[in-house]
A and B are shown apart, each in its own frame.
Chain A
Amino acid sequence: MLARADDLATMTVLDERGEPVVLGTLWRDRTAVLAFIRHFG
């Protein structure tokens, strides 16, 4: 199990407009639950 998310923090995902979002911003202000799904449908 990962102990820390430091490596993830600098990585990016894309929003629905295709704009990159830095992962670390997701838990900057509150605890984040990241649910990785296999596919969208």
Chain B
Amino acid sequence: LRGAIGDIHAAGAELHVIGNGTPSFIAGFRETTGLSTPVYTDPSLAVFRAAELRRSLMTMIDARAAAKTVRAFARGYRQTLRPQGDTLQQGGVLVIARDGHVAWQHVSRYPGDNAEPAAIVSAVTTARGQRAGAR
């Protein structure tokens, strides 16, 4: 998503990253990724659950996840030996309009099942258009 931050801002939204490790991991994550957007954490996973994101061992046992892992490894990506968070928890994306309407949601089914940045930007644009139309 890093490459889409400019487009997300241009579309009128802010990107907020939410992990699930301890708060002390955030500074290192920010340094490693170079992210300039807000980063938070939800160690209890309560927000992940409320957002209806997936967490189970079965999400890790997926051929598509294995293929993504191999490709990521080939590109030079290395996960740390002790992941800073819950490895069974899958991620996702919510686009939330100012009135609390969830304009778009992506629920990752397995590791590497990431949202398409273009879809996120499109959802932001649509959410803002709906709000403007409601005035």
Contact = CB atoms under 8 A, between A and B. Distances in A.
Interface of A: 1-9, 11, 13-18, 21, 23-24, 26-41
Nearest to B120: A33
Given A33-B15, A40-B28, 17 more contacts: A1-B102, A11-B46, A30-B12, A31-B14, A31-B95, A31-B96, A31-B128, A32-B13, A33-B8, A33-B16, A33-B96, A34-B51, A36-B93, A37-B91, A38-B89, A39-B84, A40-B84
Contact of B51 (A2, A4, A16, A29): A2
Contacts of B111: 38
Contact of A2 (B32, B42, B105): B105
Contacts, number: 167
